[in-house]
Amino acid sequence: MYKLYVIPLWILLIGFNLKVSAQKTEWFDPNKPASTYCNPINIGYNYTTFNHNGIQESRRSSADPVIINYKGDYYLFATNQAGFFWSKDMSNWNFVYGSFQRQPADDDQCAPAAWVLNDTLFYVGSTWKRDHPIWKTADPKSGRWTRHVNKAMLPTWDPAIFQDDDKKVYMYYGSSGKLPLVGVEVDYNTWLPKGNQTDYETLYKATEVEDIQKPYGQIKEVAVLNPAKHGWERFGPNNDMEPAPWGNFIEGAWMTKHNGKYYMQYGAPATEFKGYANGVHVGDNPLGPFAYQKHNPMSYKPGGFVIGAGHGNTFADHYGNYWNTGTCKISIKDRFERRIDMFPAGFDNDEVMYSITAYGDFPIVLPTGERDQTRGASSGWMLLSYKKTVTVSSSEECMEVETHRVDNGGKKVYEKFCYRPENLTDEDIQTYWSAKTGNPGEWLQMDLGRPMEINALQINYADHKATQFNKAMDIYYQYKIFMSDDAVNWKRVVDKSKNDKDAPHDYVELSKSIKARYIKMENIHNASGLFAISDFRVFGNGLAVKPKAVASFKVNRNKTDSRNALISWKKQNDAVGYNIYYGIAPDKLYNSIMVYDDDSYDFRGLDKDIKYYFTIEAFNENGIAPKNKIIEVK
């Protein structure tokens, strides 16, 4: 007599070589598209090559993003990724090998440019060489690219490609502490600069980087820094190093055309500083002349968990809404240890280009249609985890490490790093907790203090004692998350025990909110190294009282140097943080500065001879206080 055996579904899936990224629970459905995303963008950031920048320590990094909307999908190109990413919704990103390596052990191309030319996707990386190809494809998901030209003959670093409505093609480039960004029209077929042959021959004979980047004839200056007038363009951790030891650095060109105007964007003052931002100059022609926009920087995020918004690009989504990408810093294992962020952007009724970074590291609503983004696109979910009590399975010992930060004299800084549980909730991406092992069963547990409504989680892994270098396809994380009201009876809310996707900044939007006080994460598989997390962030509603409006708000602009101002207010017990807004008009307070647990901010990012307007609001896990009356600052 035969017996009937029931074969579990998971065995069948393995037998058919199918992979399950996550298990469905009452509160989380992995097949339901997200309605929000959270910075840093959650992609499988590549690990650097061995001994990168002379540092023999494994760490992930990328920067200098370009997102292109092509054939109904979004394509993300960035520094040293051994390929690129694509997404249908700007939330779930898929990796494609598309290596453009010049040498097998070399990094993949740095600060790449991409653009759609004549319905074909074009790509080129940074180089000072004169023999690099221009790549193209009509099927990027295949990973197959062909050479449009074998030798572009135009040495460019931090390039940008732009095709105007008349089909003329332009290249912009430059990365220097001494020289401006430049632009030139190129021939579509040969990619040679158009213009005077004598000027081209002079360029071709140049051997020094400074000479290669100089304007020649038809190669025009398109943007230059003026830090003596523009405070945010000054070098230094807080725009405080004058003169700049390596020069006043400008880089990251990008061109956007809107309503007949040309918006020449650039990054400054340096990628490792909190003030790294995108500026913009505006002109009537693709090669200028350009004038500095009164509202600058265009994208700026010097505070919060995600810090930095410089060197990216501006693109339109499927519905015509603009977004600005940027580079945010970690800068601990290497000053070039970086991530990628993205913020709502656009042009207001006066054609002023802006980007909204307020609450830019909280969940942001993805687009479903055309919308007004002048107020951003915040989900309204607040941070519930700030400075909440955390217990853990184990903690790695403290150690003295080289931070790769620099002090005001340009010297490297060494610090004693401790991998304590408090680091999980301090809203500092530069600190992290680490367990003693990367083994299954290591765990962390958070107490929110009282039951709160939870909508989303963000798990920001740290590369502590990682051994991976460069790209591999078996890099992934697996874990489970449980929630409880009493820390005794637990509900399994998120189950990624079968996940096979690399997600170093894993953002989990619950399909149904849950009310809970305690949250526990259990490690199953770590990508590389020890089980270590920078911040375990929880978003939702604290279900209590919002803070009161801020009292005693003052902005004292420095009379000797009007680029500087001391902003102060009365610290209040019902707030965990504050958002300072400022701008060039009461209805253009586009820029913001997030501050936690403080009552003042030393601001050095103003432009001389510009009148500004300021206001402030307090926030906590329950919501946001009313903004203060706007202050005019002459």
Question: What is the CATH topology of the domain spanning 554-633?
Answer: Immunoglobulin-like (2.60.40)
| Contacts of 15 by beta carbon, 8 Å cutoff, 6+ apart | none
Walk across the sheet containing 94-97 and list its strands.
66-70, 73-77, 83-87, 94-97
Q: What is the largest CA-CA distance in the chain?
A: 97
Structure tokens at 398: 């403290």
Contact 253, 172 (CB under 8 A): yes
Cis-peptide, bond into residue 586, ω within 30° of zero: no
Closest CA to 324 of 294, 347, 305: 347
Does 8 have pLDDT greater than 50? no
Which amino acid, 181? Answer: L
> Residue 200: its pLDDT value, please?
59
> Residue 213: its pLDDT value, please?
62
Query: Residue 355 and residue 136: Cα distance in Å, rounded?
Result: 30
Structure tokens at 371: 């919308």
Closest CA to 538 of 453, 623, 458: 458
Query: Residue 579 and residue 593: Cα distance in Å, rounded?
Result: 6
Residue with tokens 């003959």: 153
Please tell me the least confidently modeled range out of 192-206, 287-301, 371-385: 192-206
Span 36-46+75-380: which CATH code? 2.115.10.20
Q: Cβ of 248: how many Cβ atoms within 10 Å?
A: 23
Contact 608, 594 (CB under 8 A): no
Does 405 have pLDDT greater than 80? no
Residue with tokens 């202050």: 631
Q: Where are the domains of the chain?
A: 36-46+75-380, 389-541, 554-633
| Contacts of 399 by beta carbon, 8 Å cutoff, 6+ apart | 416, 417
Torsional sign, CA 545, 549, 551, 555 = positive
Q: Which residue has the higher pLDDT, 425 or 23?
A: 425
Q: Which residue has the higher pLDDT, 128 or 564?
A: 564
pTM value is: 0.93
Total length of the chain = 634
Cis-peptide, bond into residue 269, ω within 30° of zero: yes
Please tell me the least confidently modeled range out of 184-188, 273-277, 359-363, 397-401: 397-401
Q: Which residue has the higher pLDDT, 316 or 398?
A: 316
Strand ranges for 227-268 from DSSP E? 251-258, 261-268
- Return phi, psi of residue 582, to 5°: -150, 160
Structure tokens at 319: 């519905």
Q: What single-letter DSSP state applies at residue 218?
A: T
- Return phi, psi of residue 417, to 5°: -100, 130
Which amino acid, 530? Answer: L
Query: Residue 32 and residue 512: Cα distance in Å, rounded?
Result: 11
> Residue 54: its pLDDT value, please?
87
Q: What percent of the chain has pLDDT over 90?
A: 81
Q: What percent of the chain has pLDDT over 70?
A: 91
For 409-468, the pLDDT digits (tens) are: 667 777 788 999 999 999 999 999 999 999 999 999 999 999 999 999 999 999 999 999
Cis-peptide, bond into residue 440, ω within 30° of zero: no
Q: Chain-centre distance of CA 111, in angstroms? A: 14
Mean pLDDT for the stretch of residues 525-553: 98
> Residue 9: its pLDDT value, please?
39
Closest CA to 508 of 183, 127, 10, 22: 22
Span 389-541: which CATH code? 2.60.120.260
Query: Residue 271 and residue 175: Cα distance in Å, rounded?
Result: 12
Does 11 have pLDDT greater than 50? no
For residues 163, 88, 330 and 625, what is the CA-based torsion angle, rounded to 10 degrees? 100
Contact 184, 145 (CB under 8 A): no
- Return phi, psi of residue 586, to 5°: -60, -30
> Residue 221: its pLDDT value, please?
93
Banded pLDDT at 212 (limits 50, 70, 90): low
